[in-house]
Amino acid sequence: MSRERARFVSLAPAEEVCFSLQVTCGAELAVCFVEHLVKGNIPYGDDTLALAEALGAAKNTWSTEFGGQRNGSPEIHDMLSDYLYTESPELDMSRVTYHFVRGRNPKKFASTLVNFMGKCYPGEDDLAVARAVLMHLAQGNLRDAIVLMDEIKKQVQSQGVNLPRSDLMQFTNFLLETLQRDALPLFSMLLDRYRQSINRERLFNELLDEIAEKFYGVRRRNSMPGGMFGKIFKMMAGK
């Protein structure tokens, strides 16, 4: 133990000492884990990736249950979203989005989506953008949803990426405008007009039920405890 740490242990309250040492030991253990992978020339593979993701999920659970925000630490979500996008051998944008919407960096999220749009299969780009916006809105976060969409439009222009021109993208833009005013009839009209586009992904209907409740007080059609919405989000989080 260093001299500085020994002095802290001798002077600080016992509870503060225990917490500090737990955090420090946890950080040191994480560093040891990475050093072991490097020094042991451990090959990258599904097993090591699964272990690293399990550690990330455990960090998030800890931050939620012991003094963090209800959805966990935004900083941890930001790190997990970047890790999942850059390191996962089988990219799952739903899981990446799950963590980004619980972080606090919509501009970084926009950069990730624009990057994805430049290499994904046709028809995946507008789904990814709509999913990102709807997940923000289902959290009641209209501000970041607007920032995200504005930033995507800026970045596609500067990077020469084509912004999807589809009915689903039209719906997403109209939805953001509608939610900035008290316009439940217009919201309902949008759902009816773009029902076919919304049905392209099953999750969208669940998210829109949540949005209707958050912004207009409309009771969800699925009143079961936790609902399908909560179950799907748990699956995305890898729980």
Domain ranges (residues) in the chain: 1-42, 56-236
Residue 189 confidence (pLDDT) above 50: yes
- pLDDT value, residue 146: 97
Q: Which residue has the higher pLDDT, 84 or 18?
A: 84
- pLDDT value, residue 50: 56
Residue 101 confidence (pLDDT) above 60: yes
Give CA separation, 222 vs 6, 52, 170, 210, in Å: 56, 35, 27, 10
Candidate ranges 55-59, 90-94, 149-153; pick with highest mean pLDDT:
149-153
pTM (2 d.p.): 0.68
> Which residue has tokens 């996962």?
88
d(CA 239, CA 60): 11
Would you tell me which CATH number, out of the four given (3.40.1190.20, 3.40.50.2300, 3.40.228.10, 1.25.40.10), belongs to the domain 56-236?
Answer: 1.25.40.10
Residue 134 confidence (pLDDT) above 70: yes
